[in-house]
A and B are shown apart, each in its own frame.
Chain A
Amino acid sequence: MSTVPDAAAVARPEPGAPARAAAPYMNPYLGGVGLGLVLLAAYVAMGRGLGASGAVTSFVAWAVSLVAPGHASANSFFAEYLDGGLGHPLKTWLVFEVLGVLAGGFISGALANRLSRTVEKGPRISVAGRLGFAFAGGALMGIGAKLARGCTSGQALSGGAVLNAGSWAFMMMVFAGAYALAGLMRRQWR
């Protein structure tokens, strides 16, 4: 049964472990409805969907501009996210949305006693190995998200809801790619 998180079933001796058991997860269909309503609210209020990678990109562009401003504006990719004179690069809708994501995720985790300093991994891999894969996976994600102009929240979820053809193609490829490598990665998770 998948409604009780692994945290309750697997022993974790870290000091950050919660004293009480973590609450079970929400029915995925209800969670999906909630998520869908949030996405709908974004479309109704702003005419746009959600996102995450765009905010991270603004952050990267801003950081590069701090360290090497000339290089940042010379690079056509970063420069687009800076476009000086139109306000601070971090003052974008997505950056504020992402701040909200952090807050909302924290609130939900706190309410459900799911806050814990831990490393999510399977039993057959070390912490160092897991962290190495996490970084590598993140880097691949960053590249893929920029190529596709969005990640699962921005392209798949948001574009999917408005029947964007590119978003649906993207979404199918994400599942294809993940399933393709799942066998290789079994050691990390199972």
Chain B
Amino acid sequence: MSAPFYKFAAFGDEASLVIAFVIGIGFGFFLERSGFGSARKLTSQFYLDDLAVFKVMFTAIVTAMLGVFYLSWLGIMDLALVDLVTTNLWPQIVGGLVLGFGFVIGGYCPGTSLVAAVTGRIDGMVFVLGVLAGIFAFGEAFPLLKGFYESGDFGRLTLPQAFHLPYGLVVFLVVVMAVGGFMGAEWVERRFAPRAEGR
């Protein structure tokens, strides 16, 4: 049976919800393992003495990217059936900026705030309330935002397509960028390590 299994009707919607729960457990587990239930650790990324956010995120991306690539190359997975959120460039750029602001102001992102809330962080719980409020406000304002929200529609666009490069080459470049970034991150952390602290 080929992957993605759900798209080949290997199981139905009810089973997929169980799978969602199990995968979610793994997700939350590794987020907390990496310390992402702590706003102080998360925001240390932006003060350059603890770049765990960068390391975890890009290791995860590279791992999954290599997995998807090799499974597809071996013919076990059908890349055409993998969901790709359409690229709406302008709202995604602006949304990213706003999300970045929210990240350093609030100290979490939606996924990590859930982990923080469930491990007792009150600021995490308040953050989740804030996310609810923000989404509600967005929904209410949606008629005004609809035009911008749907602008810059490039459809399903991948980096290989956008830059007219072979998929495998882009995979290689991402790996190089990530490994180079990690080496740079180690250097930056040493450079900006807080002085006079017994860590």
A residues bordering B, Cβ < 8 Å? 1-2, 4-7, 9, 16, 25-26, 28-29, 31-50, 52-53, 56-57, 59-61, 64, 75-78, 91, 93-94, 96-109, 112, 114-122, 130-131, 133-182, 185-186, 188-190
- Chain B min CB distance to A79 (Å): 10
Bound-state Cα–Cα, A47 to B20, Å: 12
Cβ 8 A contact of A52, one of B17, B95, B114, B145: B114
Total A-B contacts with CB atoms under 8 angstroms apart: 557
Cβ 8 A contact of A38, one of B23, B46, B134: B23
Cβ 8 A contact of B27, one of A75, A97, A145: A97
Bound-state Cα–Cα, A56 to B136, Å: 10
Cβ 8 A contact of B31, one of A35, A59, A60: A35
Whether A64 pairs with B28 at a CB distance below 8 angstroms is no
Knowing A107-B25, A181-B104, the reply to whether A139 touches B96 (Cβ < 8 A) is: no
Whether A36 pairs with B63 at a CB distance below 8 angstroms is yes
Interface positions, chain B 99-121, Cβ under 8 Å from A, are 99-111, 113-121
Chain B residues with CB under 8 Å of A135's CB are 106, 126-127, 129-130, 133
Whether A47 pairs with B24 at a CB distance below 8 angstroms is no
Bound-state Cα–Cα, A99 to B113, Å: 13
Please, which residue of chain A has its CB at the minimum distance from the CB of B100? A177
Chain B residues with CB under 8 Å of A46's CB are 4-7, 16, 19-20
Knowing A33-B60, A47-B4, A181-B105, the reply to whether A144 touches B95 (Cβ < 8 A) is: yes
User: 4 extra interchain contacts, Cβ-Cβ under 8 A, other than A32-B59, A45-B23, A101-B111?
Assistant: A136-B102, A138-B132, A166-B87, A170-B93
Whether B27 pairs with A104 at a CB distance below 8 angstroms is yes
Please, which residue of chain A has its CB at the minimum distance from the CB of B199? A1
Chain B residues with CB under 8 Å of A33's CB are 59-60, 63
Whether B126 pairs with A116 at a CB distance below 8 angstroms is no
In the complex, per-residue mask of B63-91: 1 if CB is within 8 Å of any chain A CB, else 0: 11101100100000100011111111101
Whether A143 pairs with B30 at a CB distance below 8 angstroms is no
Whether A77 pairs with B142 at a CB distance below 8 angstroms is yes
- Chain B min CB distance to A134 (Å): 4
23 A-B pairs (CB sep. < 8 Å): A2-B44, A4-B199, A28-B34, A33-B63, A40-B68, A43-B82, A44-B4, A49-B83, A56-B131, A75-B143, A101-B111, A109-B119, A120-B40, A134-B127, A138-B102, A138-B113, A141-B131, A142-B130, A143-B134, A173-B93, A173-B95, A177-B100, A189-B47
Whether B21 pairs with A153 at a CB distance below 8 angstroms is no
Q: Dominant SS at the B interface?
A: helix
Bound-state Cα–Cα, A37 to B67, Å: 8
B residues bordering A, Cβ < 8 Å? 3-7, 16-35, 37-41, 43-47, 49-50, 52, 55-65, 67-68, 71, 77, 81-89, 91-111, 113-124, 126-140, 142-143, 145-146, 149, 154, 157-162, 167, 170-171, 174, 182, 189, 193, 197-199
Cβ 8 A contact of A32, one of B38, B58, B113, B131: B58
Bound-state Cα–Cα, A180 to B98, Å: 11
Chain A residues with CB under 8 Å of B88's CB are 149, 166
Bound-state Cα–Cα, A34 to B5, Å: 21
- Chain A min CB distance to B116 (Å): 7
Please, which residue of chain B has its CB at the minimum distance from the CB of A33? B63
Bound-state Cα–Cα, A75 to B108, Å: 29
Bound-state Cα–Cα, A35 to B115, Å: 14
Chain A residues with CB under 8 Å of B109's CB are 52, 141, 151-153
Knowing A77-B142, A96-B24, the reply to whether A141 touches B130 (Cβ < 8 A) is: yes
- Which 10 residue pairs across A and B have the least CB separation, nearest first? A137-B106, A100-B24, A138-B130, A177-B100, A142-B134, A32-B59, A36-B63, A173-B96, A148-B95, A104-B28
